[in-house]
Amino acid sequence: MKILITGANGQLGQEMQHLLDERGQEYLAEDSQGLDITDKKAVDAYFEKNKPEVVYHCAAYTAVDKAEGEGKELNWKVNVDGTENIAKACQKVGATLLYVSTDYVFDGNRTSGEYLPDDPKGPRNEYGKAKLAGEEAVQKYCDKYYIIRTAWVYGQWGHNFVYTMLNLAKNHDKLTVVDDQIGRPTWTRTLAEFLTYLVDNKIEYGVYHCCNDGQCSWYEFAKEILKDTDVDVQPVTSDQYPTAAFRPHYSVMKLAKETGFVFPDWKEALDEFLSEVK
């Protein structure tokens, strides 16, 4: 099976490579230098030459706050135009496409329950709007696809909330973290394993949600990250910590347990991750 990973230098792209290396599976992995997904001719030529059978589309613009201003055009170019190019190329060569999306496609107005894959969408920031348009491009131009929505992603490679908290803890005795945004953290290892699980087990094509099980606020997440330190973590409201992009107050998505995949609890996943990076 010929595998292609886009966004090879990103947080998930590197996790995918690590997982496939462990399994002894061969693959092609390209960053933006090796494959500019926004260049349709380059994408078509690459796919015609290499004819991948499975494409883990991890390339994305993820600077959520910058997407509201200076990065708005690039956000759309990468997450929508680039995804459309990949989807059309997959269709031409008959490849299966796995597109990673986000909880930000929902409005985040709920206070309880779980967002189902087919629930109404209502993105309230530019990043969410672009990722939803990317989903629509995948559904429009590609027959064999999986759309996998995730949230609060962290992992060994790249910048993320866990590393931010650990680094801040080195020089601060007290930290404040918002406690009125509720969601599900996701370890990149869990996400990578779910992506390969869908392919390996020939799960029905469609839209799925993947996070670690359970739910928490960013404050509770930070407390768990720093539980073995002396740092005092205090809760604050989102109003006290304004950001350029709207952040949903509630974005708990229903996990795709009907697939047979076992989603580790978020605390267990975090503990395993922290033991590895330490």
Give catalytic residues, as residue numbers. Answer: 127
Residue 250 to residue 253: CA distance in whole angstroms: 9
Q: What is 64-89 written as a DSSP string?
A: TTGGGTTTHHHHHIIIIIIHHHHHHH
Nearest CA among 244, 235, 195, 192 for reference residue 216: 235
Residue 29 to residue 45: CA distance in whole angstroms: 16
DSSP type of residue 204: P
